[in-house]
Each structure stands twice: as structure tokens, then as C-alpha cells.
């Protein structure tokens, strides 16, 4: 397995420090970040990296603390009026960055823009699916907004941190196109400049209302300025951290952990992640419509070896789609590493000489994918890794209703709510937006639909247990691991800790 040693040798390779071309001062908090924002419109994206940048400038009705507990933010209180009605009382005195006062009408406008078809200049928000069965949003009092569901949906509060409140008058003034590059939010920082592909520069909003009262300290941000410096290449991010040019980097490679820990001015911080990694096998294609071939692929991969040698032990293996920390997760039958049995299954499926396949992945995962490919090849599934860009691969593998054209896809899906609805349904329900395997199971569809609206917690947990047993047996994906999120952090940074939803919340971060 040539890919493993090559990757392990990468610890010795460090690129030259990445210079920050913006006019940074010693007081600026600089984040070395993997990806630029796709847009600054909170309703027109589906990427965590984009949301991380946006959520430092916009707040939502609710948010999560570092322990993933949902707490009020713009909302002062939440009242469940009935199984399908929730009232949100809005805090008074919240200001947008231009000094205008936020109202309940802004909340209604924001949520309508996300949930109503065609509300964004004829376009429907790509975030609509995150709002489930929301039927209407109404202002019932000057300080109260009611969200009405078409059916019970117990996870509504857990999904609302994903939606940030915009200013109705501002959107009507600049239009949907203007909102993509201009910001007038209620968050702790306001936009100073966006240098696309290079940096997003934020300034403290001195009239900030303070944020969630359950997450102290409450008040304006600690630092005057924040810079998200875009550094896609991992070695360059690490080098910039070690040189003191940035203060926080995300996606610290496991092979760089010891290097960062050995440096006097830096440290490593980790948090249990919420992103499940897996390999989609095209069940509409030539080979993977046979469960024996899918089982062979699962048996061919030594997950624990990759976790230990490539991920530095910083991941939990999974045998279904759910993180061990997710609601409804349970222990499942394990697929053991057995390349000889994998070859036997291939022979039983009619492929005694093995098969030749390609595996798509993004560039950031090329080395891991190649290590997996070498294992598959050893078991008779001769695999070539093909690297593509995220948008291109999403179009290829996740276009609803479109036929699949590849063999395998090494990818992941985030589950920031840690509720199965947010990951199980999109990746496994027939023709859903994340079902890159082309899996179709009417019994599973019915079970997932019923679980989504079930109010009895224990009954709902049992439904997801049954659903996980179904997919564990059908094996539409090779379920791999949930990695920890690993950050490199300057010891100058105080008051900040990573969050499992991958948000880098800089409101409380200080520099000493």
C-alpha cells in the first residue's frame, strides 16, 4: 500500500510561510481558512465554510453553545404552542450594522425568503430543505413571530441555528444580487472588505446587542478586527501558524499535530466532529447493484488502520450513517476487514477476476482516497482515484433524479444538528438531494418519514435504530468514520474554543 507511507512522510514537508497581503496589524485576529465564502447571502448556500464566515456577521433566532446545546440568540424565548406551532419572542433594541432597529418583520421576511418557493427573485433557497415542513411564518405581535408547521417536526429549534436574520429593507434596496457581496447584519462583526479568493476582513460592531445571554461574555466582540485569510493548502496553513502570521487554522492535518504541539507558541485543539465520511457505490451502475459486491468493498477496507495511521487516531469508526454522538445512534453489526472474503464475494457475484472501477473525490482527500483505493485493489476491486472540484462532483453525484455516471464517490455529509433527519434522510431517502448511491428502499423511506414527525422520543429513537439496521444490511455506502475537527491555535488566543458544528465563532476570542 504505497499511499500510506507516502502520506506519513508528508510530516517532513512544510511549505514556505503564506504572507498575508492585507494590511494586518498586531491586534488583528487572523484565521487561516481552507475555503473562501461562496456568497455572503445567508440564504443562498449549503457550505459550512461559507456559513462560518457569514455567522460572524449575522445572528439567528437561536444558536448553539460549544456543547451543541441550542440556546436563544435574537429570540428572547421560545414557546411551543402546539405540536405544529412555535412562538419566538424577539429581543428589543437589536441593531443592524447601519443602526436600523431589527423587528419581527425582518424575521418573517428572512424565513419566508428561505421557505417560500421562488422567494429569491424567482429562485428557491437551497436552504429550504433545512426548514422541513414549515408552512407559514406570521407576526402575531410587535415582538412575536409564530412558525407554523404542516405536520409535527420536533427538531425545528435544532435546525434554526442554520438560518441567519437579514434586514428586509436592505434586501429590498440592494436586491438578491447585492446581498451576495454586501452585509448589513446584526452579528458581532461587520464587513469591511471581501477580497475574493484572498481574504474576508471584518470589523467589530460596537453597537452589538451582545449575543446569546447563555453564552458569556455578553457584549461587543473582544478584538477590533478579524481577517479570514484563505489558505487552501494544508502545509501553507500550518507554516503560517508556526510563523505567527495567523492565529487559528482549521483542518489541521493529523500528520502536523506533533509539529504544532512542539512549537512554543502554538497548540492543538480538537472537538468531536459531526461529519460522517463514507463511500457511495453507484447502485445504478454496472457492478454495485449487487449487494455482494457492495459488501466486498466494505470488507476490503481496514478502517482502523487508516484512522490510526492517516487520521492520527482522531476519528470514530461507524457502521451506519450516524455519528456515535447523534440522536438515535446505536451499536450495529460490524463489517470486518477481510480481503479474502471480499474476493470470495466478488466471485459469487460473477466477478472471479475482480473488477475495475474509478473513485471520485475532492483534492483535499486525495491521499486518503488513494490509501483506500490500494486496499480495494488488494481485494480485487481495482480502483483508480479521480480528483474533481466540489461543485462538479455535487452535480455529478447529487443532482436529484439524475442518473449516476460514476462507480464510487469518497465523500462526507455534515450533521450539525446531530439529529438523523439532517443526515439520514438526505443521503438515503429515494432520490433525495444527498443520495449519491442511487439507493431506493420504499420501506426505509416510510420509516424515515414517520420518524421525522414522531413526537415520542423513545419511539423515534427506535425507528432510527430500525433504519440503521436496514442500511447496515443493504450496504449502499461503505460507512467509514466521523473525524474530530482539529485546529491549530496560537497561544496568544484566549476565550475561544472549537465547536462540533464547525463554526468558528470569534465573538469571544481575544488576543494577548
DSSP state letters, 116-172: STTTBTTBPPTTGGGGTTEEEEEEEETTEEEEEESS--TTHHHHGGG-----HHHHH
Whole-model pTM over 0.85: no
Residue 491's CB is within 10 A of a number of other CB atoms, namely 12
Q: How far is CA 407 from CA 297, 304, 359, 473, 491, in A?
A: 12, 24, 6, 20, 45
More confident position, 281 or 8 = 281
- Half-sphere exposure of 122 toward its Cβ, with a 13 Å CA cutoff? 1
Per the CB < 8 A criterion, the answer to whether 362 and 393 are in contact is yes
Q: pLDDT per residue over 366-396, tens digit each?
A: 989 999 999 999 999 999 999 998 889 999 9
pLDDT digits (tens, 9 = 90+) for 106-138: 999 999 999 999 999 999 999 998 999 999 999
Check the CA dihedral 223-227-228-232 and report its sign: negative
Residue in 204, 179, 209, 190 with CA at minimum distance from that of residue 102: 209
Average pLDDT over residues 240-263: 96
3 state SS of 349: coil
Is pLDDT above 80 for 74? yes
Which CA distances in Å does 414 have to 112, 276, 361?
25, 6, 16
| Whether the Cβ atoms of residue 349 and residue 43 lie closer than 8 Å to each other | no
pLDDT bucket at 237, cuts 50 / 70 / 90: very high
Q: Which pLDDT belongs to residue 1?
A: 45
481, 277 contact by CB (below 8 A): yes
Separation between Cα atoms, residue 290 and residue 293, nearest integer Å:
6
Cβ neighbors of 473 (< 8 A, separation 6 or more) are none
Confidence of residue 400 (pLDDT cuts 50, 70, 90): confident
Domains along the chain with CATH numbers? 57-172 (3.90.76.10), 275-483 (3.10.105.10)
**DSSP secondary structure letter of residue 95:** B
Phi first, then psi: what are they for 424, rounded to 5°?
A: -65, -50
What pLDDT does 485 receive?
A: 93
Tell me the Ramachandran region of residue 458: left when phi exceeds 0, alpha when psi lies from -120 to 50, beta otherwise.
Answer: alpha
Give the relative orientation of helices 291-299 and 339-348 as an angle to the nearest 10 degrees: 170
Summarised one tens digit per residue, pLDDT across range 289-317 is: 999 999 999 999 999 999 999 999 999 99
pLDDT at 434: 94
Question: What are 155-184's pLDDT values in tens digits?
Answer: 999 999 989 999 999 999 999 999 999 999
* Sheet containing 134-141: order of strands: 75-82, 85-90, 144-149, 134-141
pLDDT at position 8 is 39
**If we measure between CA atoms, which residue out of 359, 419, 357 comes closest to residue 385?**
359
Tell me how far apart the alpha carbons of residues 421 and 42 are, in angstroms, rounded to a whole number. Answer: 21
End-to-end alpha-carbon separation of the chain, Å? 46
Query: Cell 446584526 belongs to which residue?
Result: 186
Share of the chain above pLDDT 70, in %: 96
Contacts of 379 (CB under 8 A, 6+ apart): 296, 299, 300, 339, 340, 342, 343, 346
Measured CA to CA, the distance from residue 137 to residue 131 in angstroms comes to 12
Beta bridge partners of 229: 32, 199
pLDDT band at 22 (very low <50, low <70, confident <90, very high): low
Cα–Cα–Cα angle for 347, 348, 352, nearest 5°? 15
Q: How far is CA 418 from CA 104, 482, 485, in A?
A: 29, 12, 15
Among 252-256, 263-267, 281-285, 371-375, the range scoring the smallest mean pLDDT is 252-256
* Span 496-500, average pLDDT: 91
To the nearest 10 degrees (0 to 180), the angle between helices 168-179 and 104-115 is 30
- Number of other residues whose CB lies within 10 A of the CB of residue 327: 19
Alpha-carbon distance of 146 to 87, in angstroms, equals 4
Nearest-angstrom CA–CA distance, 348 and 487: 46
Pairing of the two strands 381-388 and 266-271: unpaired
CA torsion sign for 6, 11, 12, 16 is: positive
β-bridge mates for residue 149, sequence order: 134
Instruction: Compute the C-alpha angle 445/290/299, nearest 5°.
Output: 95
Amino acid at each position: 500500500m504505497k499511499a500510506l507511507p507516502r502520506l506519513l512522510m508528508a510530516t517532513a514537508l512544510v511549505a514556505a510561510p503564506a504572507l498575508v497581503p492585507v494590511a494586518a496589524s498586531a491586534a488583528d485576529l487572523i484565521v487561516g481558512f481552507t475555503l473562501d465564502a461562496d456568497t455572503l447571502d445567508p440564504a443562498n448556500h449549503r457550505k459550512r465554510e461559507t456559513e462560518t464566515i457569514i455567522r460572524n456577521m449575522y445572528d439567528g433566532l437561536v444558536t448553539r453553545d460549544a456543547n451543541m446545546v441550542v440556546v436563544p440568540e435574537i429570540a428572547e424565548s421560545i414557546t411551543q404552542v402546539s405540536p405544529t406551532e412555535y412562538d419566538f419572542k424577539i429581543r428589543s433594541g437589536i441593531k443592524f450594522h447601519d443602526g436600523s432597529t431589527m423587528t419581527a418583520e425582518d424575521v418573517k421576511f428572512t424565513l419566508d425568503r428561505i421557505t417560500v418557493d421562488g422567494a429569491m427573485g424567482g429562485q428557491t433557497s437551497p436552504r429550504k430543505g433545512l426548514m422541513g415542513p414549515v408552512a407559514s411564518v406570521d407576526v402575531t405581535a410587535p415582538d412575536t413571530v409564530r412558525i407554523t408547521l404542516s405536520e409535527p417536526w420536533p427538531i425545528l429549534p435544532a435546525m434554526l441555528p442554520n438560518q441567519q436574520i437579514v434586514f428586509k429593507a436592505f434586501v429590498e434596496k440592494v436586491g438578491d444580487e447585492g446581498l451576495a457581496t454586501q452585509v448589513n447584519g446584526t452579528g458581532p462583526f461587520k464587513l469591511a472588505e471581501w477580497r475574493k479568493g484572498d481574504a474576508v476582513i471584518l470589523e467589530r460592531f460596537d453597537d452589538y446587542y451582545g449575543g446569546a445571554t447563555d453564552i458569556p461574555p455578553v457584549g461587543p466582540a473582544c478584538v477590533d478586527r478579524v481577517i479570514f485569510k484563505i489558505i487552501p493548502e494544508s502545509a501553507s496553513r500550518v507554516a503560517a501558524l508556526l510563523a505567527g502570521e495567523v492565529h487559528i487554522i482549521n483542518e489541521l492535518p493529523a500528520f502536523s499535530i506533533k509539529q504544532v504541539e512542539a512549537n512554543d507558541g502554538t497548540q492543538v485543539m480538537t472537538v468531536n466532529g459531526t461529519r460522517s465520511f463514507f463511500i457511495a457505490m453507484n447502485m445504478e451502475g454496472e457492478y454495485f447493484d449487487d449487494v455482494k459486491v457492495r459488501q466486498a468493498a466494505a470488507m476490503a477496507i481496514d478502517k482502523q488502520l487508516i484512522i490510526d495511521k492517516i487520521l492520527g487516531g482522531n476519528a470514530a469508526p461507524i457502521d451506519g450513517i450516524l455519528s456515535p454522538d447523534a440522536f438515535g445512534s446505536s451499536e450495529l453489526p460490524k463489517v470486518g476487514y477481510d480481503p479474502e472474503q471480499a474476493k470470495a464475494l466478488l466471485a459469487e457475484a460473477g466477478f472471479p477476476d475482480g473488477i475495475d472501477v474509478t473513485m471520485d473525490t475532492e483534492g483535499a482527500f486525495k491521499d486518503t482516497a488513494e490509501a483506500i483505493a490500494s486496499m480495494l485493489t488488494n481485494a480485487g476491486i481495482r480502483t483508480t482515484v479521480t480528483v474533481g472540484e466540489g461543485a462538479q462532483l455535487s452535480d455529478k453525484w447529487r443532482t436529484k433524479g439524475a442518473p449516476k455516471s460514476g462507480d464510487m464517490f469518497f465523500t462526507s455529509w455534515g450533521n450539525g444538528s446531530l439529529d438523523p433527519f439532517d443526515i439520514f434522510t438526505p443521503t438515503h431517502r429515494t432520490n433525495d438531494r444527498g443520495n449519491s448511491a442511487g439507493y431506493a428502499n420504499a420501506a426505509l423511506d416510510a420509516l424515515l418519514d414517520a420518524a421525522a414527525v414522531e413526537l415520542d422520543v423513545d419511539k423515534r429513537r427506535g425507528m432510527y435504530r430500525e433504519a440503521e439496521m436496514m442500511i447496515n444490511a443493504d450496504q449502499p455506502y461503505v460507512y467509514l468514520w466521523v473525524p474530530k475537527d482539529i485546529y491549530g491555535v496560537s497561544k496568544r488566543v484566549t476565550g475561544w474554543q472549537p465547536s462540533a458544528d464547525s463554526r468558528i465563532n470569534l465573538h469571544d476570542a481575544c488576543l494577548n
